[in-house]
Amino acid sequence: MNARTLVRLTFANPASAIYLGLVGVAVAVATAVTLFARDPGFVWVLPALFAFPLFLVVALVHGAQGQPPTWLFLTELVVCVLLQSLVLGTIVEASRGRLRLRRRPRAS
């Protein structure tokens, strides 16, 4: 797969766009609550739940080491969301029959 295909699968199909939009809204709400509320509480749980299957593995690894720094938490959240968007786009395109993987011809 080339970079153009990866970008198309991650951002350009409707399922991935809706998923990334929902995650963006959840992050915006969590950021606003963190900045303007006296006690934000567990507001960052919602963005983490959007990245749940993959983010659970990352959280379990860090659970043994203690609480990670904020920058690491946010970086892992972004990476998990982008990987899941790529997988979602791949599933949608494959179910539509549009996904074409280039195969190299075998030398005889």
Q: How far is CA 4 from the centre of its chain?
A: 18
User: What is the domain partition of the chain in residue ranges?
Assistant: 3-96
pLDDT tens by residue, 31-79: 999 999 888 888 888 888 888 878 777 777 766 676 777 787 788 888 8
- pTM value is 0.78
Question: With b meaning 16 or more CB within 10 Å and e meaning fewer, what string describes 1-26?
Answer: eeeebeeebbeebeebeebbeebeeb
